[in-house]
Amino acid sequence: MRTSRWKTSTFMGCLAAMAIVWGWILPRLATFDAVRSRINTNRKAGINPTAVFYTDHPTMPDIENRIENRIGARPSAPRPQPSPQGSILWRE
């Protein structure tokens, strides 16, 4: 059986390791050219790489509008109908 002292030491050791990794190693890693380049590319393009769902992606509305325009611009595509006005919840 592991003693509670051993468990507490492990816990504190893990916390110390995390402090070193997040406080010292990762900030230095962020200065490497390859990593810096990836970070800058994502920032410039407005990308949130940790987006789980499409709604978490900051530039999704722009993308949807661009795709809608490109798909709608095809000669064979149906012409858009005017959007319904006077919605029950929003417009007066």
Partner 1 sequence: MKQEHRGESSGLPEPRKVANPHDKPWYQVDDFLAMGIASCLLLFALLAALASRPADRVALHEKLDQLTQSIRAADGSEEITQSLIAQKTEIEKKLAGNLLKPWIGKPGEWESNPSEALVVKGKSLVPSILFTGGLLLACFAVAATLQKEPTARFAFGFATLFALSLASYLLAGQAVIKHYNLEYALWAVLLGLLISNTIGTPSWLRSAARTELFIKTGLVLLGAEVLINKLLALGLPGVLISWVTTPIVLITTYWFGQRILRIPSPSLNMVISADMSVCGVSAAVATAAACRAKKEELSLAIGLSLIFTVVSMVLQPMVVRASGMGPVIGGAWIGGTIDSTGAVAAASELVGGAAKDVAATIKMIQNILIGVISFAVAVYWTWKMEPRNDGVKPSGSEIWRRFPKFVLGFLAVSLLMSWLQTQGTSGKAMVSSVVDGATKSIREWCFCLGFVSIGLESNFREYRQMLAAGKPVVLYVCGQTLNLILSFLMAWLVFTQWFPEVAKSLGGP
Task: Provide the binding-site residues for partner 1, judged by CB under 8 A.
Answer: 4, 7-8, 10-11, 14, 18, 22, 26-27, 29-30, 35, 38-39, 41-42, 45, 47-57, 59-74, 76, 79-80, 82-85, 87-92
Residues 64, 52 contacting (CB under 8 angstroms): no
**Least gap, CB of 74 to partner 1 (angstroms):** 5
Half-sphere exposure of 76 (CA within 13 A, CB side): 0
Q: 79: which DSSP letter?
A: P
**Least gap, CB of 16 to partner 1 (angstroms):** 12
